[in-house]
Amino acid sequence: MIVLGGSAGSHIGYELSEILGAGYQDVEVREFPDGELYVRIPADVGGADIVYVNSLAGRPNDLLVETVLTLKTLEDLGARTVYSVLAYIPYARQDSRFNPGEAVSALVVSELLKSLRVDRIYTFDLHLHRFRDPRELFGDVLVNLTAVRDLARYLRRYHELRDCVVVGPDEESEQWARTASEELGGVPYTTMEKRRISSTDVVVEPRDPDLVRERCAVVVDDIISTGSTIVETVRALRKLGVGDTYVAATHAILALGAYSKLAKLGLRDVVASDTVLSPISRVHVAPIVARHILGLEAPG
């Protein structure tokens, strides 16, 4: 087996190769003067089992093209099996046509990835709203893993979570709030009601105020993008007398000054996985991927 690291996935790929006892190579990627990408696989992959690792956050357009070029080249060079670990898949939030003429980007990207010869695609906590099972879009080739259990274990290991309730910032986050609740021993969980005003502004209100009032709160979500949802959630909880507050999310995109916004909240802790490298990425996902590749754990 050979593990190949894309330009935004080498930190996961190298760790994964160490766990699996496999060889490791970085995919050679550079940019031509006109902005086009040059991709070269510096290993003999003919007849080999390949695990290609990348994360498509931060520069989604370039990284998506890089990934497509790499996966197609692996097919052309005769790799026997190809597992693709795409720790973060972009364009998933637009999974419906809300206004006439809009591109349904989740559908387009899923069709693009399905057109490649890949035996399995591993990703983490895919950001879909209207599809309960991502395989409805991507087919059975997709394995949607979660980092939420490991995030909850991290908080449990380093903090005394006394009289806590798990809170999801919106209805879609209920699945992650429930998972964190289970991992924390069955503590209560709830979700907030969110109304989006714009792409950066939201209004968040408690769905069950009496459940969270004057308790400790663990806010769990799949992604922190601009930070607006987390900020409004914490503010709403504190109006109810919530004290110690912790935040955990799988993907720390941290766009438009989000990290600064989080720092000003006075949280007891804020943690994310390393699907996207950031100042709060302290939970590693390589061991999760390894367990699934080795058949030691089922998704979810």
In a domain, 298, yes or no: no
Residue 199 reports pLDDT greater than 90:
no
Instruction: Please give the average per-residue pLDDT across 98-109, as a whole number.
Output: 92
Same domain, 168 and 104: no
Same domain, 141 and 182: no
Same domain, 196 and 289: no
Q: What is the pLDDT of residue 94?
A: 83
pLDDT range class, residue 115, cuts 50, 70, 90: very high
Q: What is the pLDDT of residue 91?
A: 93
Any idea what the CATH number is for the domain that residue 23 is in? 3.40.50.2020
Say how far apart CA 206 and CA 218 lie, in whole Å.
14
Contacts of 291 by beta carbon, 8 Å cutoff, 6+ apart? 297
The pLDDT tens digits of the residues spanning 216-252 come to 999 999 999 999 999 999 999 999 999 999 999 999 9
Same domain, 264 and 289: no
pLDDT range class, residue 203, cuts 50, 70, 90: confident
Residues with active-site annotation: 194
Domain that holds residue 84: 2-146+285-293
Residue 128 reports pLDDT greater than 90:
no
Residue 134 reports pLDDT greater than 90:
no
Same domain, 171 and 232: yes
- Whether 217 contacts 240, CB under 8 Å: no
Same domain, 165 and 42: no
Residue 55 reports pLDDT greater than 70:
yes
Q: What is the pLDDT of residue 169?
A: 94
The pLDDT tens digits of the residues spanning 18-31 come to 999 999 999 999 99
- Whether 12 contacts 3, CB under 8 Å: no
Say how far apart CA 146 and CA 283 lie, in whole Å.
12
Residue 45 reports pLDDT greater than 80:
yes
Q: What is the pLDDT of residue 198?
A: 67
Residue 49 reports pLDDT greater than 60:
yes
Say how far apart CA 165 and CA 161 lie, in whole Å.
9
Residue 162 reports pLDDT greater than 90:
yes
Residue 166's φ and ψ, nearest 5 degrees, are: -90, 135
Please give the mean pLDDT across all residues of the chain.
94
Residue 298 reports pLDDT greater than 70:
no
Domain count, the chain: 2
Contacts of 256 by beta carbon, 8 Å cutoff, 6+ apart? 200, 226, 227
Say how far apart CA 118 and CA 158 lie, in whole Å.
39
In a domain, 95, yes or no: yes
